[in-house]
Chains A and B, each alone.
Chain A
Amino acid sequence: MKGQFLAAILLLTFVPPATASDETQLKPFERGSWQQLLRSHRGHPTLVQFWGVTCGPCKVELPQLGEFMKGHPAIDVVTVSADLVPDLPDATRSMLQKSGLSAADNWIFSDGFADRLRFEVDPAWLGDIPRTLLISRDGAITTIEGSAEIAELEKWSDAQLAPAR
């Protein structure tokens, strides 16, 4: 009996979270996740990028963001996959991994009512991606619609880190 319990525990431990061994963790982005995300990065300059695997400009920008993260360890980098394509997590993880973003704080839209998720982030956002939100230490948010210029990110990053120097 004890053996059966152990077998059940082992089965349940190792079978369901098949992705646990992947180094790229994806958190489900649901109702309330946006506030949770803001809370967990409060006080840190944070770059949040909304992107999607079917979005051409996103594919170009993602590796640049990976490079940016490598060069700016003091900036929290967050990605949110905002595409609602079925069976998306694997493709999302793969693209994040290839772009050097495995260690970022990575999320994926996990509510079928995407309009409501977007509304929580920004009521005026109708779903265009990529979209980058730059959040300063004091919580002020600057929104960049479309692909962000790396020079612009550098400028913002320098301004964020200046007081700490």
Chain B
Amino acid sequence: MSRKLMLAAVLALWQSFALAQMNHQHASEAACEDAILRCATKVTPAISQDGTLWLAWMAGGHVSIASSGDGGHSFSAPVQVTRESLNLDWGPDARPKIALDRSGGIAIAFSIFRDKAFNGQVLTTRSTDGGKSFAPLRPITPNNESQRFEAIAFDRSGTLLAAWLDKRNRVPALEAGQKYDGAGLFFATSKDGGTSYSDARLAAENTCECCRLALAFDSSDHPVVLFRNIFDGGVRDHAIMTFGDAATPGELHRVSRDDWQIAACPHHGPSLSISAAGTYHVAWYTNGKARKGLFYAHSRDGGKTFSDPLPIGQSSKNPSRPQIIAGPQGTAMIWKEFDGEKTTINLMTSRDDGESWSTPKVISSTTDASDHPLLVSDGQRSYLSWMTKADGYRFEPIEDEP
């Protein structure tokens, strides 16, 4: 072999190696690999009573937080919640959760994959010094069966409620020779702001195991959980439960009869917001026999019955990832649409507590991967919070439109 040929061979091999490395990089939903906000794939906002925006994000195998006192223009130096890089739950419906109490405490919860079989574990921590440092991570429950899709929120009395999907009851069922579908909806409460949690308790059995939960409080401060359930015959339609109090699960009601019979992971959970008037606003995705796409409905009787599902978005553009928020200036609903190249965020607003809705309009767009669009309120206005790979993090007020 001549030297030239050898050189060519080395170069060719090197190029293919470099290409493989590039492809690896290219395959990531992240813009970069560090733990900084710009590299995040999932960013979750919360606004404290003094109007400070807090973000919790996943990037580079870490969960970090930072705050902004100027509406997202600039952020404090990030603080890592995790001390070592973890195998975080990167599923499409997973994200770190952040809840703020009135005394400035910050509760964090998120899921990791604890083993090679991708069994999940929910970890929690809390900061009592305004986000400067976090306590060592603690599992939300000592049980070792798979847990994912946690949701956390403080009620008005300062009790932190956590709900998550948990497969612990699968083991005894299988040992008894019984079939076990999905996972259990479990919950626990924390009276110390998220430092420790009560024993886990079951709220509902056989729920869909791979969709995020939606959690809110009604006007009487009762926790309300909206989730994809598994109804008879393997039908994965949505159910809602209003708790008696933070320790007492309530009756399960069906949100709509979409009749989506599927043994699959839709990776597509619902959204819930409850207005000051007590109206439950819900939005969800289904691909059922009765209807397909994104839908909205409301309940004015505490989640017992719901209005007829209202289709959302242009069905030719795959409406997805709905989010809804009820604020003092009205109710806003956003979702994604995709035309094969560009993702848009679309907005509809209602000024009559969900009876009628404005014409949809595009409020943001991107041409690469992006997180779910989220809505957050400071008690007065609502804001879009959206992480995009190409254009970074966006935080924009929802313009109030009649």
> Hey, which bits of chain A sit against chain B, CB under 8 A?
1-2, 5-6, 8-9, 12-13, 16-17, 28, 30, 52-58, 83-87, 91, 94, 109-116, 119-120, 123-124, 126-131, 145-147
Contact = CB atoms under 8 A, between A and B. Distances in A.
15 contacts: A5-B3, A5-B7, A28-B23, A56-B209, A83-B91, A84-B27, A86-B61, A91-B116, A94-B116, A110-B26, A112-B389, A113-B369, A126-B285, A128-B268, A129-B267
Most buried by A among B91, B264, B340: B264
A132 to B, nearest CB: 10
B29 interface: yes
Interface SS, B side: loop
A112 B29 contact: yes
A119 B320 contact: no
Contacts of B338: 115-116, 119
Given A16-B17, A111-B26, A128 B91 contact: no
Given A28-B27, A116-B340, A123-B318, A128 B369 contact: no
Contacts of B268: 126-128
A54 B91 contact: yes
A58 B264 CA distance: 7
Contacts of A87: 87
B363 interface: no
B10 A8 contact: yes
B340 A123 contact: yes
B92 interface: yes
Contact of B10 (A9, A57, A58, A111): A9
Nearest to A119: B340
B264 A109 contact: no
B118 A112 contact: no
B72 interface: no
Contacts of A13: 13
Given A55-B265, A146-B264, 18 more contacts: A5-B7, A54-B89, A54-B113, A54-B210, A57-B264, A85-B90, A85-B118, A110-B26, A111-B27, A112-B26, A112-B27, A112-B29, A116-B341, A123-B318, A123-B340, A127-B266, A128-B264, A129-B265
A58 B266 CA distance: 12
B6 A128 contact: no
A145 B90 contact: no
A120 B340 CA distance: 8
Interface string B1-34: 0010011011001101100100100111110000
Contacts of A114: 29, 369
Nearest to B316: A123
B106 to A, nearest CB: 26
B262 interface: yes
Contacts of B17: 12, 16
A124 B316 CA distance: 8
A109 B369 CA distance: 14
A126 B285 CA distance: 10
Contacts of B92: 84, 127
Contacts of A84: 27, 29, 90, 92
A2 B10 CA distance: 12
B341 to A, nearest CB: 7
Interface string B285-317: 101000000000000000000000000000010
B271 interface: no
B396 interface: no
